[in-house]
Structure 1
Amino acid sequence: DESASTALRSSSPQYLGPRRTKAHICYSRLHAEIMAKVLHRDLGFTDVDATQTDDWDLIVGGYPHCGVGPRYEGNRYGWDWDMEYGLNRILNERGWENLMPHQVYHPCMGCAATYCNKRELCRILRDHVDPSYCYVLPDDLNRLKDAMSTDKSKVWVMKKDAANVHIHVGRGVSFFSSLDELPSEEELSNGMYLVQPWNEPFLGPGIFHRKSEMRAYVAITSVYPLRAYVHEEMSVVLAAKEYTNSSEAMVDRCMADTHSSTTGCESLISREAQRVLRNLQFMNRAIYFHDYAEAVGWSNEQIAGLIKETHETISKVVQVGHEALKSHHINRGIQSSGASCFSWMRVDIGITKDLKPFLFEFPEFFANYGTNTNAANTIRDLYKMIGLDQSPLPPEERSKFESQNLGGWQLLPNLDH
């Protein structure tokens, strides 16, 4: 009857048009290879040039890859951190509020001013998780001196970062154990330094007697309100060299650094270790989390506890940083237009000897080469969760659609909507 037909129409999705197929990819092999491959191969997207036409459905890597600016220390590629060049300049001139509701922009903006910048992540961890988690210099210099005088044998890790630089994959990191090794107060005043305590790492048996680091994936699909997810599929990466002690790790990057790009380290892996890792890893020294947990003998309770604390800490960080995203003018323009944005990020997490997570960084753009099947699985699930393989939906229907198409994603716990 007529009432039943009306009810059916009101409960059916109200699509905005045909399925999206046109993407402008600001191509950086370092940061966009998997994103592009999954779009082209799995979803059938074709490339368009959004500098020449408004007829596009998706922009990938718009910030900071869609414009080339000046090169300087920490920005050797000339990435457009201030959105002043190329396609970014054109979009600014067109007006973000004039986007079409079916259009999607990657990434959501504002992360560089908060947790995707290691110094700002340090502040959040210090203020909202544990005061001893991190020290922002020079603000916390006296507090750091007090901590160092309490335990004079402790090793500390110093890092450099800022909102408009790109210092990752182990660069800008040094180790020290004495106040004399700190930069001068004049150098510290440049606002780029932070310090974290060195935590003795979890060490597994046999070839797993190596420093390890978890990699988790986080997605943001809405800023107003915040919708943020963590993927169930994590990985663990291993240092090339077996661990002895913190003193040796200070001077041996092959023991302290888990990045596979650490030069000269691969030859230190024994043939036996290479054989075992070949059967487990999905790429160089990277293992799926649950395969690693089984190999080192963690119980189900230990696994659940580590995951729970990891997700809760990530959720706290994302919620504190939400204010920076809400206040960003590009996100506000996207919201008023009815269009959408999404972010796909990685979180790098140490595992202490007590099986506690320790957040290192929250890279907004990370290496995702085509061999990384772990990353490919998460971005494929993300594309499907936001409906890139479907006809586009209006803003009021997107949350429900996501909840019904999570794949491996799950809402961050204790999320304050």
Structure 2
Amino acid sequence: MNDNCNESEIIDENYVNLMNQVINYSLNLHNKDTNSSFPRLVDSSGDPLVLQPSLFPMVWPTVYFALEDESISLVPNKLKPYLKWKLSSITANTMRTVVTKSGFRLLRDKNQKVYKNWSAIWCKHMKSVDFKTIKDYQKVNHFPGSFHFGRKDKLWQNLRSMAVKHGFEVFAHFHPPTFVLPHDWTQLKKYWINSAEELVFILKPPASARGEGIKIIKKFSEIPKPSARAKHKHNAKSQYVVQKYITNPCLLYNETKFDLRVYVLITSIVPLRVYVYDDGLVRFASHKYSNDIQNNSDNQFMHLTNYSVNKNNLNYVLNHDINGQTGNKWTLKTLWRYLNHSCKGVDVDAIINSIEDMIIKTVISCEPFVAKLVKENVKSRYSCFELLGFDIMLDNTYKPWLIEVNISPSLRSDSSLDSAVKSQLIKDMFNLIGHQIPPNFKRLETFAEFICFNRHYYSALLSDEETIKVNL
């Protein structure tokens, strides 16, 4: 018993010293080197403090997130009650490991009524009006209206709108020709009739995921025909998205289709701040690709690259080597190395630049609609962020094509490769967005105003420079 008391006294004594370090560093804004390594402060053992000066100037300290095998300073007892993470049905195993490592207590609340003072949650998308219930110090992994990214019909309509304004060669050249039914029925029919090539389309429900409801279409008569009333009704509800199928995919030595899962983090809508993760996943189909689409139109293992589909094929091979070039899943960095070393004449930097250009234009096309809903429903700019999963395919000329964008991309880990990519993604994402100590901690400590969340810092007007950017 005495040993436990002594340990608590030591921890609390260290707590005062460590908090002083964090506060002094954060207040010393003029001398802060924002380009220095992160984490910046460590304890006497060389382990990172659980609270770190923010990555950004003029921002109070944030919780430091670490990987499972990293050593981190003990969480002070006085802070523990204020680190509360509310679980949801999509809180992945990788995420639980990272957040508990940093001292968060996981709250299981099945009735949605017991726990209200949580500080963070990772959940499915909510209705826009529900964001009004989020307190200004709480963080949720969505913006209201982010379905403008995730719904296939909304995404194309937003891109098309920008293309009409700025030119299809600028805003739509990276997205396969797409038609939203029933509204675009007449245009689709005209496109099909006037095409000189043999067309293949892929039919998708507008809000589906994991390969559900997808069908390969080779004849116009195979497309479900809408009612006469729906075809001519301007605001008819979207029933299907019909997208031109990429019949000339890039094939590597395994001769199977693949796509890229590129992770994109939006930390702010107004002003707009977007980050692209430097790694990702390459997902291979589990059946060799064939140009004989007519006789393989029902073979999802050939046409789709979704893990949720292909894991059901007996030929699917897990890859546990983060640097390995075998199996049905690679890391994105492994693909870039493969193309550099095994494919002569391929300009990997040009491919990456094209992908980043695609991401920027896609986000810009959806931003006005999301910004409007954020203004109407969100109390604090601190509260919201969004991780998007861009699904991109390369054709046989190595041109990137945007297939779709996923909100709430899966962060589950089913292999050591998955865990390596996604755990680091989660760590970097949370350290970037910055989780702060809730304001009720101020009741405990006199110096807490220099550590806790302060809503005034997130309700200030934009700078002149940011205002100009927003209005461009």
Partner of 2:331: 288
Runs (5+) with no aligned partner, structure 2: 1-23, 33-57, 63-78, 164-170, 438-450, 459-468
Partner of 2:104: 45
**Does the aligned pair in 2 maintain the 1:218–1:231 contact within 8 Å?**
yes
1:56 maps onto 2:118 in alignment: yes
- The alpha carbon displacement at 1:201 in A equals 4.0
- The alpha carbon displacement at 1:379 in A equals 1.6
Q: How does 1:205-220 map to 2 (within 5 A)?
A: 205-207=252-254, 209-220=255-266
Q: In structure 2, what residue type is equivalent to 1:21?
A: L
Flag the 1:45–1:395 CA change in 2: closer, same or farther, 3 A: same
1:357 maps onto 2:400 in alignment: yes
Partner of 2:213: 172
Partner of 1:24: 86
1:314 maps onto 2:314 in alignment: no
Q: In structure 1, what residue type is equivalent to 2:385?
A: F
Secondary structure at the aligned position of 1:169 is classed as: coil
- The alpha carbon displacement at 1:362 in A equals 0.9
Partner of 1:130: 172
**Does the aligned pair in 2 maintain the 1:126–1:134 contact within 8 Å?**
no
Flag the 1:203–1:16 CA change in 2: closer, same or farther, 3 A: closer
Whose radius of gyration is greater, 1 or 2? 2
Q: Distance in 2 between matches of 1:384 and 1:248?
A: 49
Partner of 2:189: 145
Q: TM-score, normalised by structure 1?
A: 0.73
- The alpha carbon displacement at 1:47 in A equals 2.1
Q: How does 1:9-408 map to 2 (within 5 A)?
A: 11=30, 13=58, 15=60, 21-28=83-90, 32-41=92-101, 43-48=102-107, 51-61=113-123, 63-64=125-126, 81=127, 92=132, 95-96=133-134, 99-100=135-136, 102-112=137-147, 114-127=148-161, 128=163, 129-130=171-172, 133-149=177-193, 150-151=195-196, 153-162=198-207, 167-186=208-227, 190-207=237-254, 209-245=255-291, 246-262=293-309, 266-268=313-315, 274=317, 279=321, 285-296=328-339, 297-298=342-343, 302-328=347-373, 332-334=376-378, 336-337=379-380, 339-371=382-414, 372-373=418-419, 374-388=421-435, 391=451, 394=454
Secondary structure at the aligned position of 1:213 is classed as: strand
Q: Distance in 1 between matches of 2:61 and 2:402?
A: 40
- The alpha carbon displacement at 1:302 in A equals 2.1
- The alpha carbon displacement at 1:340 in A equals 2.1
Q: In structure 1, what residue type is equivalent to 2:286?
A: A
Task: Provide Cα deviations, 1:314-337, integer angstroms capped at 9, x if missing partner.
Answer: 1111111111221215x6443x44
Q: Distance in 2 between matches of 1:261 and 1:14?
A: 40
Task: Provide Cα deviations, 1:125-162, integer angstroms capped at 9, x if missing partner.
Answer: 33432386312222322222222221352211111114
Question: Which of 1 and 2 has higher RCO (CA within 8 Å, sep 6+)?
Answer: 1
Q: Distance in 2 between matches of 1:171 and 1:10?
A: 51
Flag the 1:231–1:337 CA change in 2: closer, same or farther, 3 A: closer
Q: Distance in 2 between matches of 1:147 and 1:383?
A: 46
Flag the 1:397–1:227 CA change in 2: closer, same or farther, 3 A: farther
Q: Identity across aligned pairs (percent)?
A: 19
Flag the 1:27–1:376 CA change in 2: closer, same or farther, 3 A: same
Flag the 1:394–1:249 CA change in 2: closer, same or farther, 3 A: farther
Q: Distance in 1 between matches of 2:311 and 2:114?
A: 45
**Does the aligned pair in 1 maintain the 2:210–2:306 contact within 8 Å?**
yes
Q: Distance in 1 between matches of 2:160 and 2:264?
A: 21
- The alpha carbon displacement at 1:348 in A equals 0.9
Q: TM-score, normalised by structure 2?
A: 0.66
Secondary structure at the aligned position of 1:232 is classed as: strand
- The alpha carbon displacement at 1:104 in A equals 1.7
Secondary structure at the aligned position of 1:234 is classed as: strand
> Please, which moves more after superposition, 172-181 or 292-301?
292-301
**Does the aligned pair in 1 maintain the 2:250–2:394 contact within 8 Å?**
no
- The alpha carbon displacement at 1:266 in A equals 2.8
Runs (5+) with no aligned partner, structure 1: 65-80, 399-413
Q: Distance in 1 between matches of 2:360 and 2:180?
A: 21
RMSD between aligned alpha carbons? 3.5
**Does the aligned pair in 2 maintain the 1:125–1:317 contact within 8 Å?**
yes
**Does the aligned pair in 2 maintain the 1:201–1:212 contact within 8 Å?**
no
Q: Distance in 2 between matches of 1:299 and 1:152?
A: 30
**Does the aligned pair in 1 maintain the 2:436–2:453 contact within 8 Å?**
no
Flag the 1:284–1:367 CA change in 2: closer, same or farther, 3 A: farther
**Does the aligned pair in 1 maintain the 2:83–2:104 contact within 8 Å?**
yes
